[in-house]
């Protein structure tokens, strides 16, 4: 059953990997708060363990969670330390007290040595027992500093956590900025058992915002808006080539392949990439397309830039 959005399911162990400052803690707090408000999460049996924060961060997050009546534990405070978590979970399993309990750890490396296979495997097995006894475990963890050979994020540590947990995902950026200037991130699953769905969130990350205001700005992007954002991101990426094509047409380049060759050299993109961008924005709808052409005598094409008076005759393509 979905518990925290569609990212974390009840009775499962889930880990989310992300680089620092990607927004994983912010989104965790948002998901927890929403679940408590909607009544899908029992606040009195939810424990967020904040083991990776400054004193100021601890105070602000504790206050935010207190509004939802959610418990927050901090290593070194109230006679709690990271090492006690293992013993507490073992005791809960032995006494059959795990059902409907939600444990969130931020971050996982404070509770298990992710680089040590034996330690990571032992912790993963304990979490598995906790989930099988009815508990839900949600861990936040870091990715490696450098991306993989394929350009994708890579999780830290051995494979044991991913293998032992029910679900594992990366928090990846959808765009540097959305159409509204927000930061966009998506939960992208590496593994899932059940109805976990990838979801995309937007939030305001202006540096002068208070943490409370930033948390209040978090929102889920629904399918229609997500499609618009993907289109916006494509346009943002294509921007330099679009402008180079427009300026080249204005300067009088008439032949399409001459245009492609010139733009390719100007922006440092392959000719195939330039052709794809040219074709992508060719059409008669000024709201969607950048230019269109009309076939004239002897097959000549006259290219029109939308919202511009320029006409360039292409007699060679």
In whole angstroms, give the CA distance from residue 87 to residue 301: 76
| 311: confidence class by pLDDT, cuts 50, 70, 90 | very low
Whole-number pLDDT of residue 267? 93
Average pLDDT of the residues in 171-194: 83
Is the pLDDT confidence value at 314 over 70? no
In whole angstroms, give the CA distance from residue 203 to residue 219: 6
Whole-number pLDDT of residue 137? 98
| Cα torsion through 160, 164, 165, 170, rounded to 10 | 30
Average pLDDT of the residues in 289-308: 74
Tell me the per-residue pLDDT of 71-119, one tens digit each, with 9 for 90 and over.
999 998 888 888 899 999 999 999 999 999 999 999 899 999 999 999 9
Using DSSP, state whether 167 is helix, strand or coil: strand
Tell me the per-residue pLDDT of 41-79, one tens digit each, with 9 for 90 and over.
999 999 999 998 889 999 999 999 999 999 999 998 888
DSSP-derived pairing of the beta strands 167-175 and 13-18: parallel
In whole angstroms, give the CA distance from residue 139 to residue 244: 46
pTM of structure: 0.74
How deeply is 93 buried, as exposed, middle or buried, from its count of CB atoms within 10 A (0-12, 13-18, 19+)? middle
Determine contact, residues 136/104, Cβ cutoff 8 Å: no
202: left (phi over 0), alpha (psi -120 to 50) or beta: beta
283-to-232, 280, 304, 310 alpha-carbon distances in Å: 18, 8, 10, 16
How deeply is 69 buried, as exposed, middle or buried, from its count of CB atoms within 10 A (0-12, 13-18, 19+)? exposed
Determine contact, residues 238/290, Cβ cutoff 8 Å: no
Whole-number pLDDT of residue 295? 73
Whole-number pLDDT of residue 220? 92
């Amino acid at each position: 059953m979905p518990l925290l959005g569609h990212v974390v399911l009840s009775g499962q162990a889930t880990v989310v990997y992300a680089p620092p400052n990607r927004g994983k803690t912010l989104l965790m707090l948002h998901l927890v708060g929403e679940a408590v408000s909607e009544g899908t999460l029992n606040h009195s049996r939810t424990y967020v363990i904040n083991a990776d924060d400054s004193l100021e961060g601890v105070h602000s997050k504790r206050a935010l969670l207190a509004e939802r009546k959610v418990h927050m534990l901090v290593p070194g405070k109230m006679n709690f330390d990271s090492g006690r978590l293992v013993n507490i979970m073992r005791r809960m399993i032995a006494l059959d007290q795990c059902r409907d309990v939600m444990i969130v750890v931020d971050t996982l490396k404070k509770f298990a040595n992710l680089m040590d296979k034996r330690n990571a495997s032992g912790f993963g097995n304990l979490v598995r027992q906790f989930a099988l006894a009815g508990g839900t475990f949600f861990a936040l963890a870091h990715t490696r500093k450098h991306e993989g050979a394929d350009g994708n994020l890579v999780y830290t540590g051995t494979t044991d956590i991913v293998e032992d947990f029910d679900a594992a995902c990366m928090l990846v950026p959808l765009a540097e900025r959305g159409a509204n200037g927000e930061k966009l991130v998506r939960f992208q699953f590496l593994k899932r058992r059940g109805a976990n769905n990838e979801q995309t969130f937007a939030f305001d990350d202006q540096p002068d915002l208070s943490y409370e205001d930033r948390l209040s700005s978090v929102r889920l992007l629904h399918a229609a808006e997500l499609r618009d954002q993907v289109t916006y991101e494509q346009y943002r990426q294509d921007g330099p080539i679009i402008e180079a094509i427009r300026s080249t047409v204005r300067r009088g380049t008439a032949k399409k392949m001459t245009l492609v060759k010139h733009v390719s050299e100007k922006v440092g993109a392959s000719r195939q990439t330039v052709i794809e961008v040219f074709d992508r924005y060719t059409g008669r709808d000024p709201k969607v397309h950048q230019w269109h052409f009309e076939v004239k005598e002897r097959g000549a094409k006259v290219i029109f830039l939308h919202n511009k008076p320029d006409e360039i005759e292409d007699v060679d393509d």
